[in-house]
Every structure is written in structure tokens, then in C-alpha cells.
Amino acid sequence: MEVKFFVRDLSEIAQRITEMGGRLVHSRMYEVNLRYEKGDRELYKRMEVLRLRKDFASRLTFKGPYQEDPSVSRRVEIEFEVSNFDNAKKFLEALGYHLDVMYEKNRTTYAIRNVLVVLDEMPYGSFLEIEGPDAESIQQVARDLNLKWEARCTESYIMLFDRLVAKKGLTAKHLSFEEFEGLSFVAEDFDLEFAD
């Protein structure tokens, strides 16, 4: 289970996490994500995800459709490490999947009690994601970090990307730092509000 928050200042939040006794799990790291599809975005239409990610390791992930829960994003997730990122791409293509969208980020990961808090520097802005075993734990950490719970987002980064492209008439094919260089956005552009 997880929620996202669009924020103005990740460094201030990192300081709050440290003051709360949060433990650094992974320092700031570049991450590339490849979302694969069949046909005309068949997986996306079913609210499913097939993703190949590379950061300190390479992992293949399947996410099932969202389950009913208005407070957090709740879905089945199956993830495992693959030994070779390039071979995993070839494997997916051999099964008939094609690359739909690439997105990248810089991510810093902390642990607070039984919850992970990740600070994501996305090409379109700064987000904080809280992942935990239940909605109550996630909400408590959000409260402890002085985040506005009503500003939470349960949508994926790609859903936000698609909304932004449509709303702003962008021609970006991928959510990359290169394609978004020099652009900046406010919360209203995503139909969100800042949580900090």
C-alpha cells in the first residue's frame, strides 16, 4: 500500500525524517523504469503494470489493478530481481511486449518504523511516496511529517504524466529529464495540491 504527495521542498522533508529518527536505506540514486505493453495499451486499460526497473539492481514487476480503497493505493504486486537488464528487455520483447514509456527519477529511500518513505525527484517535480503495511501506518507517518493528508495522490507517475501531457499539450513521449528540461509545473497542473 502506498500514497504519493506532490511537495515543494524535499530537503526540508529529509530533515524532518532525520529528526524523527528515520534511517537512510538508500542514498540518492538514479533510476530508470521501462513500462511494457501489449497492443494498444491493453495493460494500462486494465490498470495493470509490467515494469522493468534498474537502479542498484534490476527488477521485473507486475502490478495488478487497483483494489477498492479510497485512502491509499492498494494493488497486488509481484517483483523479483533479474540478473541482466538487457536480456530482460529482450525476453519481454520476445514474449510480444513493446516499450510503451520510459520514466526516470532520482530516489532517496528512508525507513521510519515499519514504513518506507521515498523522496523522488521526477522530471516534472518533487514527490514523496510512503509505502507501508496498512493505511493507518502510512497516515501516521504522513501526519508526523506534517503532510496534508487530503493532498495525497493514489495515481501512478505515468497516470500523472498522461494527464500533464493532455492538459498542457506536451509532445513528450517519455518522462525523462531531457524531455522536461527547462519546464516547471505547479500542483494545479496535475489536479493536485502541494502537501507541504
What's the CA gap between 101 and 51, in Å, rounded?
10
CATH class of the domain whose range is 2-190: mainly beta
pLDDT at 40: 94
pLDDT at 73: 82
Name the residue with cell 538487457.
Answer: 86
pLDDT at 74: 80
Q: Which of 144, 140, 188, 135 is nearest to 164 (CA)?
A: 188
Quick: pLDDT tens for 31-61: 999 999 999 999 999 999 999 999 999 999 9
pLDDT at 85: 98
Query: DSSP assignment, residue 181?
Result: T
Q: Which of 162, 171, 169, 168 is nearest to 186 (CA)?
A: 168
Residues 64, 66, 69, 72, CA torsion sign: positive
Quick: pLDDT tens for 71-113: 788 889 999 999 999 999 999 999 999 999 999 999 999 999 9
DSSP letters for 132-160? -SSHHHHHHHHHHTT--GGG-B-S-HHHH
Work out the number of other CB atoms within 10 angstroms of the CB of residue 41.
13
Work out the number of other CB atoms within 10 angstroms of the CB of residue 173.
11
112 backbone dihedrals φ, ψ, rounded to 5°: -125, 115
Percent over 70 (pLDDT), the chain = 100
Quick: pLDDT tens for 169-184: 999 999 999 999 999 9
